[in-house]
Amino acid sequence: MLSRASVKGGRVTIQLQNDGQDVHDLRLRRIGGMRTYSFPLTSPGARSTLSLRLLPGRYRLWCSVADHSQLGMRAVLRVRR
């Protein structure tokens, strides 16, 4: 679940807070883009942080562990100008 549905473009800090019981990661890719940003595997109760520069557009976010994405661990983030 996203804490914000949209953010302003430029330097953005994204945090993955794992409040579950399983290990999770996070992938982020601009829709129509080629580059995928990756968070490391994050243990239950832990947090991972990634600071990056995002261009305006829509970005897909998903957990790439096992079938987590198919189970609903995915979202779309809007990056505005």
The 10s digit of each residue's pLDDT in 1-57 is 899 999 999 999 999 999 999 999 999 999 999 999 999 999 999 999 999 999 999
Q: Specify whether the CB–CB gap between 28 and 61 falls below 8 A.
A: yes
Number of domains making up the chain = 1
Establish if 19 belongs to a structural domain: yes
Residue 43 in any domain: the answer is: yes
Nearest to 13 by CA among 37, 35, 31, 30: 37
Decide if 1 is inside a domain.
no
What pTM does this model have?
0.91
Query: Distance between CA 73 and CA 16 in Å, rounded?
Result: 12
Structural domain boundaries, residue 31: 6-80
Burial of 34 by CB count in 10 Å (0-12 exposed, 13-18 middle, 19+ buried)? exposed
Q: Judging by beta carbons within 10 Å of its beta carbon (0-12, 13-18, 19+), is residue 42 exposed, middle or buried? A: buried
CATH value at residue 10: 2.60.40.420
